[in-house]
Every structure is written in C-alpha cells, then in structure tokens.
Structure 1
C-alpha cells in the first residue's frame, strides 16, 4: 500500500510537470514537483493550476456547477440586491440573465423589456437577451423582430453560435421554411452539437425522404463525433448525444 501511494504521488507530480512544461512555467517547478512529489503537487495546484483553471471554459463551468450545488440561488440573490441598490442597465441585465437561468422567464422578460424602452433599445446585449426571453416565453414573432434588429445593429452576431441558433429555432417555431437556411447557417458557426440535434429534430418532422435522410445523417455525426470528445465535453453535451442515439434507435425499430 505505501508503494501504491508513492506511485500515485509521482503520477500526480508527472501530470503537473507536463502542465508546467506546456504552460511554460519556470523550470524550478519541475525540481519542486519531483523532489517533493506530494508537497510540490499541492503547492503547484494552489499556486499555478487552480488560478489558471478559473480562466478556462471548463473551469468556469465547474465553478458554476459548484456554486449551483452549494448555493443555487446565490447569483440571483446577489443580482437582485445589486439592482435594488443601484438600478443601472448592466445590473438590470445581470438580474435578467440570473432570472433566465433559474427559469423565471416571465420576470426576466419584464426586465429586458424595460431595458429596451430607453436609450439602449438598440444595444446588442439588450436585444440578444430580449430575443431569448421572448422565445422562452413563446413570443416567437417578437423574438424574430428583436433578432432582426440585432442583426441590423451588429451584423457579426449572425455568425455567433447563440444568436444564429436562436434565429433558426424562432423561424422553425413560426413554421417558416426559411428555418432550413437558418439552421444550415447555425451549423457553420456551431461550437457544440446542439444545432445539429435541433436541426435534425426539425427535419424529422418532415415527411420528405431527403429530410429524413439528412436528419439521420446529422444524428449519426453527433454519435460519431462523441467518440472523440473528452470526458468534460461528454458531460456538457450529454443531452444532445442521448437525443441523437434515441432518434437513431427509434429509426431502426420503425
């Protein structure tokens, strides 16, 4: 057992040693890690690894998950207190975003609508939040209008993953065939499998064989891509992978 523990210490030290080399840390860290594997690893974790992790996407997600587990209403509570103290636009948008995260979409919509009444009515952050809140409240036509204004004010937002996908979903909810082109555009700028899955779901509702085949191909791509995901990506995209697998299994049984 002591040998096993000692081996584990060296494995951890080796991991941090590789991290030190890749992140171009001072080489004295390697000496510390391998001369004092346990103590060195602990010091390296708190001095270098943990602070750096905070700025990665995975670190931000992990931090968010931990906050949700420890105090799920903390962000909403703090956002509401900050807004009550000084009701600025930034603090209103923070509160609205926190309300969206907790599922209070009706109250969130009120804040976005208030923000859109003033001089910041054409502010991209206001329009993006307003469109999302309108969509989540099943106000699809107003959401489409807000998105169109956003694209006029900030043309680059058409090529951003979140607005592009929301645009496609809004057109699909309105029953517009132009949703097809919007979904295709969303796929080009996609950063995760959600657009593929939502597009495939929409195509699956069509009877045309070509649409059915395209949907099946998109589901298959998600499953195939998942074989190359690391564990964190699999955790983040679990919902879309499960939906794709279920859709493919249903297609085989029908």
Structure 2
C-alpha cells in the first residue's frame, strides 16, 4: 500500500495569508506601544539653537533660570560705544525660537565669578571676588540694582535652594546659608555649616539622594540634610579613591541607586 503525503503549498490560500498578515500587524502594534521595548538613543552631538559671540572679548558669565520660559541672563556687557548692558535670551517651552532683549545698566561690574537666580524672589545675586554680594532684579525688574551686601569671606560658589527659600554659598571650610529679604534688597547670614578639615567647598548641588544637598569638597562629596531654620547636617559622604584630583561635578541617579562624580582629571567615579 502506498501512502500519499500531502504537499505544502508554496503560496498560501488568500484566507490563510490574510489571517497571518493580520496577526503580524497586531503583534507589531503591541511591540511598538510597549514602552519597555522602546530604544532610546543618546547622542553627544549638540544642536545649536542660537549663537552669540563677544569676540575678541571674553564671554561674560551667563546664568540660567526658568520662570514662564527658559532664560539665560548676563550682566555688565560693554559695547563698542562703552554702553553697559544686561542681556537676556528667552526660549519658549513650546518651540526653539530664541528672543534676545537688552537692558541698560548704570555701573560696570568687576568680572563676575558667581551668578545665581533666586526663583520666586526674582533676584540675581552676583559675586565678583571683592567680598561684596550684589543684588539685581531679574527681567521682571529690568535688571535694576537692588542693593549690596558686604561679606567677610571669599565665596567660591552660589546656589539657591527653593525648598528652604535660602541662598547657599560655598567658602573655605563651610557652607553658609543666607536669609533673603522679601524686598530683595538685603541678605542675612542664617548659619555657617562647617566642613571637616577646612575643606574648600567647590560647588553645591541640589540633586543629592532623596533631594538632599550635595557639597563638593575637594575630593569628597558630602550629603547634607535640611534640618530647619537654614541649618544643614551631614548624613553621608563619598570619598574619591583615585587620583586625588578635585571633584568638579556630580549627579544622582535615583532609579539605579548610583551617585556619579567627575573630577578635573576627566575621571568619572560611581558609588
């Protein structure tokens, strides 16, 4: 007896092909709609949205802040006709258009070393290395001078903490917290938080674990917890174990539970 084997069709019937095609399309849609399967490609190729040059002069310090749009402000620009100006670039949240505005200033400042915006106070605080903090209104106040505050120590960095609504400054051996007067015309020292060994506080960041304050102190990242009334207390530290090069920047990735820090030698450490 001879058994006849059924042959496989090279070209399926239309009803079978239609079923297979719909099944493939359905699975493809499910895959594309699943965020876990999305591929995110990161690129270090920057996109230039706006270009500004001060050649042959050096570009003055620029301060970024966000209000109803993205703002990039710079003070004490001197024109070819010796006019002194404040310049602000505004970028909308909805498009890539950048608008530039110019405001007149009455005084030429020494080279600005630190410049920070104080959020809802609408104040810019500038430090020029001369033991004086200078207060200016932001674009809402046309960058008008509001006051000067003498300080008895050299300031290395400035940071505004919107949670405490205070100005923070890093100096040799301490982080200083400042109360900002509502009028915007004055500052008062609230506390001086000492750093062990008189370490130089090179930078202050607000992106620490659980929203804590980070003080970058030479080769140590110190985690500071807010304790009320402008007081800060150290709760954790991360020490560099590589070249001993000063730490210049850091970032906390809460999702992964890592703290990243970069130093002047170009090294990145992970804790």
Greater C-alpha radius of gyration: 2
Larger fraction in helix: 1
TM-score normalised to structure 1 length: 0.29
Larger fraction in strand: 2
TM-score normalised to structure 2 length: 0.28
